[in-house]
């Protein structure tokens, strides 16, 4: 057990699974040296370094640099998965999903169903989400809600290194297509991570903090902001229960509902855009199945309905922060009192 960053934890997951199972292959843009760039073997190791070193141990046949063509990457990976390999394909920025969406949404997600169970698609798509680096509108989105809405896809959104390694190993061992979302600002976040391989089951939320007053459900980077807000609120006498779903599909509905049953008050925090997102999905779930326990309306803390700004000052206003989260919690806590 050692302290590792999310980057190291993900690398370890890939390395250990590639050693265990020769069918696991990595494919994507710049996963090793960058095809056609003259950068040399392993010069890149992934845009933020997660796959660095893999080609040295596993070779060109298993660590495959591709041209800039997401539709071909995802198409090839989906086909490889359904014919016997276990590919981990990289969609460098989740914002690029548009150019390969058919391969994910109509092909990989539906093979198992449309072939009557005769085909399995053990594909993992690793992709970056999140704003906060002035990467601007086309490189800062968090579209996990789009993947979540597709039946046949599993969607994973880890918030820390321990979860990241266990969930990625679970994703690689899972026989269905999994979209694995990595927040681009969190790769250096550290926590204690076992050195050996382990799995975390999908559909099992993590209760990050216990509290009796308000339930706060948060995803990815927002889990940490919610924790910060909870510290401030605890000093004011408001105890938050923070739930990190870890996977949006399948979603651990029971943990959320049981918490709201106790607290009666819910705030959902999501840095994605407000329409048709995870915050809306969870609010509807609770309104449907826990209505009799609610003491206040469900509040959603999300980004505004705009593209992600480039200017740092505007991007800062775009992303939900601990103070906006705390304000929402105070509002639901005080409602009706």
**Could you list the residues that contact other proteins (CB under 8 A)?**
1, 162, 166, 194, 196-201, 204, 207, 210, 254-255
Q: Would you call 139 a catalytic residue per the annotation?
A: yes
Q: Is the CB of 60 or the CB of 254 nearer to other proteins?
A: 254
DSSP 162-181: HHHHHHHHHHHH-SS-EEEE
Q: Is the CB of 200 or the CB of 326 nearer to other proteins?
A: 200
Q: Can you tell me the distance from the alpha carbon of 67 to that of 55, in angstroms, rounded to the nearest whole number?
A: 17
User: Residue 166 is encoded by which pair of tokens?
Assistant: 């266990």
Residues 6+ positions from 181 with CB-CB distance below 8 Å: 94, 127, 128, 129, 142, 144, 155, 156, 157, 158, 220
DSSP 37-91: TT--TTSSSSTTSTTTTHHHHH-TTTEEE--S-HHHHHHHHHHHHHTT-EEEEEE
Q: Is the CB of 210 or the CB of 236 nearer to other proteins?
A: 210
Smallest separation (angstroms) from other proteins to the CB of 204: 6
Smallest separation (angstroms) from other proteins to the CB of 197: 4
SS3 for 215? strand
Q: Is the CB of 21 or the CB of 60 nearer to other proteins?
A: 21
Q: Is the CB of 82 or the CB of 240 nearer to other proteins?
A: 240
Smallest separation (angstroms) from other proteins to the CB of 152: 23
Cβ neighbours around 236 below 10 Å, total: 11
Residues 6+ positions from 222 with CB-CB distance below 8 Å: 269, 270, 271, 320, 325
Residues 6+ positions from 116 with CB-CB distance below 8 Å: none
Smallest separation (angstroms) from other proteins to the CB of 166: 6
Q: Is the CB of 42 or the CB of 204 nearer to other proteins?
A: 204
User: Residue 62 is encoded by which pair of tokens?
Assistant: 């298993």
Smallest separation (angstroms) from other proteins to the CB of 76: 30
E strand or H helix that includes residue 256: helix 253-263
Smallest separation (angstroms) from other proteins to the CB of 200: 6
- Quick one: CA dihedral 282, 288, 293, 298, positive or negative? positive
Q: Are 111 and 121 in contact (CB under 8 A)?
A: yes
Q: Which residue has the tokens 């909870």?
A: 230
Q: Are 125 and 160 in contact (CB under 8 A)?
A: no
Query: Exactly one of 139, 145, 183, 224 is catalytic; which is it?
Result: 139
Active-site residue set = 139
């Amino acid at each position: 057990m050692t302290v590792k960053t999310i980057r190291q934890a993900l690398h370890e997951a890939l390395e250990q699974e590639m050693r265990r199972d020769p069918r696991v292959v990595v494919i994507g843009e710049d996963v090793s040296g960058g095809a056609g760039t003259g950068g040399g073997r392993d010069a890149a190791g992934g845009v933020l370094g997660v796959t660095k070193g893999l080609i040295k141990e596993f070779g060109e046949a298993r660590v495959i640099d591709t041209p800039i063509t997401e539709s071909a990457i995802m198409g090839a990976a989906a086909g490889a998965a359904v014919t016997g390999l276990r590919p981990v394909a990289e969609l460098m920025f989740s914002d690029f999903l548009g150019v390969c969406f058919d391969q994910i949404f109509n092909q990989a997600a539906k093979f198992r169903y449309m072939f009557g169970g005769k085909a399995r698609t053990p594909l993992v798509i690793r992709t970056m989400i999140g704003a906060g680096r002035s990467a601007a509108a086309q490189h800062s989105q968090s579209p996990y809600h789009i993947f979540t809405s597709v039946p046949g896809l599993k969607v994973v959104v880890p918030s820390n290194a321990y979860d990241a390694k266990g969930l990625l190993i679970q994703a690689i061992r899972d026989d269905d297509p999994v979209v694995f979302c990595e927040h681009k600002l969190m790769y250096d976040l550290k926590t204690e991570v076992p050195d050996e391989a382990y799995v975390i089951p999908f559909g099992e939320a993590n209760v990050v903090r216990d509290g009796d007053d308000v339930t706060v459900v948060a995803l990815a980077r927002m889990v940490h902001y919610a924790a910060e807000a909870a510290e401030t609120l605890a000093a004011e006498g408001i105890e938050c229960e923070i739930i990190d779903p870890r996977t949006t599909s399948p979603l651990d509905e029971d943990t959320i509902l049981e918490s709201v049953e106790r607290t009666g008050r819910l705030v959902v925090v999501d840095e994605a855009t407000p329409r048709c997102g995870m915050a809306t999905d969870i609010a509807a779930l609770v309104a449907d199945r826990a209505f009799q326990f609610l003491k206040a309306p469900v509040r959603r803390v999300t980004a505004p309905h705009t593209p992600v700004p480039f200017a740092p000052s505007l991007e800062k206003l775009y992303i939900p922060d601990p103070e906006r989260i705390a304000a929402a919690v105070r509002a639901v806590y005080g409602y009706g009192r």
